[in-house]
Amino acid sequence: MDLCQASRPTSRRGFEIAIICALTLEADAVDALFDMYWDDDGPPFDKAPGDPNAYSMGAIGRHNVVLAHMPSMEKANAAMVASYCRMSFPSVKLILLVGVCGVVPFGPNNDEIVLGDVVVSDGIIQYDFGRRLPDQFKRKDTLLDSLGRPSLEIRGLLAKLKGLRGRKKLGTAMAKYLGELQREPLLAAQYPGIIHDRLFEAAYRHVGGQATCEQLGCDGNLTPRQRLHASRGDLEPAVHFGLIASGDSVIKSGQERDAIAAKEGVIAFEMEGAGVWDSSPCVVIKGACDYADSHKNKLWQHYAAATAAACIKALLSYWVSSTPDVTDIVPMPQSEDDETSLGRSTALKKPPTSRNGAKPVVLRGGSAIGGDAVNDDLGGTAEGGCAAGGDVKISSPSYWGAASLVGGDGTGGNAVGSRSVGGSAVGGNVRWMCSEAMV
């Protein structure tokens, strides 16, 4: 088994990562980057009673992931989906809200954000939560009315990703995964082209309902951007960290966009984050598909969904699961005549009668801690704590003790006289390798 590859969980408690998508095109991009599909491998996992959600289950890298498909947009639906998801999958430690959004073209530090870039939440501002007065809207922004900060674990992860090395590695991995998505024609994830990335002045309005700018001949002044001007081909997506505005309204006004951004310091607008943020450890990751103005259209949605999906797969390589690191050593059985095999065929060599200088041998992830006393032959591999029907032999007379296989949950095999924790011992038997050494 690949050390970076997850194994199929034995129950719903084996999933620690949940991804929520509001649109089918968003979920398609995420689903296409799964490395394994547990829906297609073995019986389906059940749900908690009363859970109406629809899920796709699989693995991304070394993480088991459940993808929740929202029935429709908006924060109330997002809150419901997240709540039921955590009820059915109680071990979930991180929820990723992934999809597309409208962006502010220039961030608080005047950083350019262009279509196809990805925004990652430092925090969520519920910009439409407040009081509508006769002549103005006043947002509730007191400490008790505001959404909280991310958890310590998430803040630490984001701090690491913001570093120079983290940004470089994240960008490289994103480009790789985006390329994989673009090789699937049905995802329509190709870069639409710089010519279609048009930012009009905030006051210039699109008049014509559902008609496109090309159909109407929108000819207002365009705001120049250095990134677009300097590019000679497809522009690589950048990642921006900052506050994201979340609400039930779709922003289609450049002037209102800029006013909210100036007041709140946000870099993007979306519609689901506020529903999940306070109840679950959450990161919002969205691809920029428009500039939240009246000229917005759906041309960039598939590409933006693909860049967001590529970003979450790259980000998950930094997320460390909370599997405990446990080694159990217990007393040996008393029989010296026990020649039993670990696996399916070859018996263990009987240890010598002398017990002078006896040393315990521990198998940890298929390796021997304590020397070269163990000759690993786990079906051709001795990695990851996976005993896939192979053998382990004691070949040195100078080592005594127990073989404790750390990293297996005993799936398909027996653990006789030792405990296995956390991974998979498939089709093999784990038995005492020698006797009385630890008594």
**How is 195-225 classified by DSSP, letter by letter?**
GG---B-TTPPP-STT--HHHHT--PPBPP-
Assigned token pair, 80 = 């419901």
pLDDT at 332: 53
In the block, tokens 């500039």 appear at 291
Q: Which domains does the chain have, with CATH numbers?
A: 12-316 (3.40.50.1580), 328-439 (no CATH)
CB 59 within 8 A of CB 1: no
pLDDT digits (tens, 9 = 90+) for 5-54: 788 988 999 999 999 999 999 999 999 999 999 988 778 899 999 999 99
DSSP states of 163-205 as a string?
SHHHHHHHHHHHHHHHHHHHT-GGG--S---GGG---B-TTPP
In the block, tokens 């008049």 appear at 207
Closest residue by Cα to residue 361 from 408, 420, 402, 418:
402
pLDDT at 403: 41
E strands present in 229-336: 239-246, 266-270, 282-290
Q: Is the pLDDT of residue 109 over 80?
A: yes
Assigned token pair, 295 = 């000229």
pLDDT at 53: 95
pLDDT at 224: 82
Model-level pTM?
A: 0.71
pLDDT at 87: 95
Lowest mean pLDDT among 94-98, 145-149, 159-163, 265-269: 145-149
Q: For residues 6 and 343, what is the distance between their CA atoms, to the nearest angstrom? A: 22
| DSSP SS3 for 423 | coil
Which residues have a Cβ under 8 Å from the Cβ of 3 and sit 6 or more positions away?
62, 383, 384
pLDDT digits (tens, 9 = 90+) for 231-250: 777 889 999 999 999 988 88
Q: Is the pLDDT of residue 369 over 90?
A: no
CB 273 within 8 A of CB 97: yes
Q: Is the pLDDT of residue 171 over 50?
A: yes
Closest residue by Cα to residue 14 from 348, 425, 422:
422
Closest residue by Cα to residue 293 from 345, 396, 230, 222:
222
> How do 266-270 and 239-246 pair as beta strands?
parallel
Give the orientation angle of helix 24-32 with respect to helix 164-182, to 10 degrees: 100
Q: For residues 434 and 352, what is the distance between their CA atoms, to the nearest angstrom? A: 10
Degrees to nearest 5, angle at CA 40 with 422 and 378:
40
pLDDT at 308: 98
DSSP bridge pairs for 57: 66
CB 276 within 8 A of CB 234: no
Report which DSSP code applies to 308: H
> How do 94-103 and 17-21 pair as beta strands?
parallel
| DSSP SS3 for 26 | helix
The number of beta carbons lying within 10 Å of the beta carbon of residue 233 is 8
Which residues have a Cβ under 8 Å from the Cβ of 353 and sit 6 or more positions away?
none
pLDDT digits (tens, 9 = 90+) for 77-108: 999 999 999 999 999 999 999 999 999 999 88
More confident residue, 272 or 358: 272
pLDDT at 228: 84
pLDDT at 374: 41
Mean pLDDT of 295-306: 91
More confident residue, 323 or 312: 312
Using 50, 70 and 90 to split pLDDT, how confident is the model at 150? confident
pLDDT, the chain, mean: 76
Q: For residues 439 and 435, what is the distance between their CA atoms, to the nearest angstrom? A: 9
pLDDT digits (tens, 9 = 90+) for 373-425: 344 433 333 334 434 444 444 444 443 444 444 444 444 444 433 333 334 33
Mean pLDDT of 184-202: 89
Phi-psi sector, 217: left (phi>0), alpha (psi -120 to 50), beta: left
Report which DSSP code applies to 336: S
Q: For residues 301 and 16, what is the distance between their CA atoms, to the nearest angstrom? A: 28
